[in-house]
Structure 1
Amino acid sequence: MSNTNINEIKKEDKKAFKGFIILIIIALIAGFFTGFISGNLKEILGESVPILLISILEKITPFVSIVLSLIIIIISKIIYANTRKKYDLFKKSNDNEDIVDKIEGNLSILLLITSINTIVGFFFFGVASVLSTFYSRSGDISIIRVFCSFIGFILCLISSILIQKNVINLEKEINPLLKGSIYDINFSKKWVESCDEAIKLGIFKSAYKAYKCVSITCIILWIFCVIGHDLWNFGVMPMVMVTIIWLVQTISYSIESIKRK
């Protein structure tokens, strides 16, 4: 390595180091301020927030997944029907390639909202299980709540799978090179293997962006777990779970990076 490159590296480190020091100072000040007011926060938020949160979840949990899934189904039908119509017109005219980009954009939106619906469905089904002790206090009504939670979860999964099936199949119509069925356990692997280099590059860029976002989120959640231990007696398990997710993401990403070098 030439002296010029070494000097450039040192100059770049020196320039970035100033911002790094400022960030560390801000973090220390924020940490000191949080620790200083933690006693007052515990008096204000220590009991009221958990009670309010449990009260809200107890009321909405049995019905959220059903309502949300029905809304997603209606929205998805409208978007998919419009997208299908645009593609059929494109096949007849075949004179505007920009339409294909808009169609694929709509399909990506459909995949996004169904993925969100699935995650929310799992969340509220888990909450329903945790809050089952609260349902038992209501006598016969607890059976209705448990039944609604279960139906909502099943509706969420089935609707998401069927919508994703339609999206994937239409995507395969647009690009016949793409392979894989949504019902196949190895769908993701087959799908990526069938993609061309341009699509793979988009997937890899998106994956790296997701990696960065999850890393930042894990830091924020770790801080929240530390604060929550003092305010709401979280215990160590939430921090353990965040750390496991953080480690799995980092190690899996690093191993794949090493394999590709």
Structure 2
Amino acid sequence: MSDNVRRDNRRALPKYLLTILLFGLLGGVLGFFTGVAGAAGVAETVRQALDRVLAVCAPWGIVGSAVVLLGAGWYLYAAAKRRFAAWDGEDEDAMDAAEQQLSWALLLTGLVIILDFFFFAASIIYDRFLPDLILFLASVAVLVVLQQKIVDLERRINPEKRGSVYDMKFQKTWMDSCDEAERAQIGQACYRAYMVGTKVCIFLWVALLILNFVFDFGLLPIAAVLAVWGAMQTVYALECIRLSKRTGDA
């Protein structure tokens, strides 16, 4: 066993070192050019351009994302509801298609809430707090109602499911009503999200570190990324420890 460990390490080490070297060289090149760009005053030009774009987009961001994405979500929900109403109780493919439509609708609601928070923050920065607060709350209200409709339809398709989106413990109640296969799928999806999130945090750390030479925004954005990354790593490790203890006790 120890020979296999050493052999695997020897096989993987050259590729690992080469990757680190290439990324180091790339970072050095990008750092050089960003330093030149900062000295040439590019940062201020880009900052002013972004300010102008965001100041124009912020008033319409919440409305636009709600109309487009929530509109598509309601369309998918309605299509799934029609499939369920016409279901003969035997065609499982029809219900699989309906559940796929509901999953896509839920994805759209998740994107809307992220965009809502972004544009609401932009509205505060660009002095549009009160009007955009009303739009923000209206968008969130429509979003929550759509999520409630999706969950209710999912429960009608699968009567064993439990939970209401208005319950603060909805996620736990829903998870408890899932069977082993569904829990395994959720676990795989969460692990995939964790791995992608880790890679995104590394990319953002590198990008922010390099861009700091141009925009000089300090450590706060970098610290925010590392806080998210650290929370992910810590929770993942602690949960693995907790689950391994529970398995051992069983």
The aligned counterpart of 1:110 is: 105
1:206-251 Cα offsets, whole Å, 9 max, x none, are 1001101111111111112212321111111111111111111110
The aligned counterpart of 2:167 is: 184
Answer yes or no: is the 8 Å Cα contact 2:80–2:98 preserved in 1: yes
TM-score (norm 2): 0.92
Answer yes or no: is the 8 Å Cα contact 1:66–1:155 preserved in 2: no
Counterparts of 2:129 and 2:148, CA distance in 1: 29
Matched, 1:232 2:228: no
Match of 1:124 among 119, 129, 143: 119
Moved more, 153-162 or 44-53: 44-53
Matched, 1:26 2:22: yes
1:44 offset after TM fit, Å?
Answer: 5.9
Counterparts of 1:213 and 1:156, CA distance in 2: 28
Match of 1:46 among 40, 43, 46: 43
The aligned counterpart of 1:59 is: 56
The aligned counterpart of 1:247 is: 230
1:79 offset after TM fit, Å?
Answer: 1.4
The aligned counterpart of 2:2 is: 6
1:156 offset after TM fit, Å?
Answer: 1.9
Percent identity, aligned pairs only, is 27
**Correspondence 1:69-218 to 2 at 5 A:** 69-90=66-87, 93-132=88-127, 145-218=128-201
Answer yes or no: is the 8 Å Cα contact 2:74–2:105 preserved in 1: no
Instruction: Specify whether residues 33 and 72 from structure 1 end up closer, same or farther in structure 2 by C-alpha distance, changes over 3 A only.
Output: closer
User: Over aligned residues, Cα RMSD in angstroms?
Assistant: 1.4
1:38 offset after TM fit, Å?
Answer: 2.5
1:169 offset after TM fit, Å?
Answer: 0.6
Counterparts of 1:32 and 1:67, CA distance in 2: 40
Moved more, 110-119 or 234-243: 234-243
Counterparts of 2:90 and 2:160, CA distance in 1: 21
Answer yes or no: is the 8 Å Cα contact 2:73–2:106 preserved in 1: no
TM-score (norm 1): 0.89
One-letter amino acid matched to 1:54:
D
| 4+ residue segments displaced more than 6 Å | none
Secondary structure, counterpart of 1:46 in structure 2: helix
May I ask how many residue pairs the two structures share in their alignment? 243
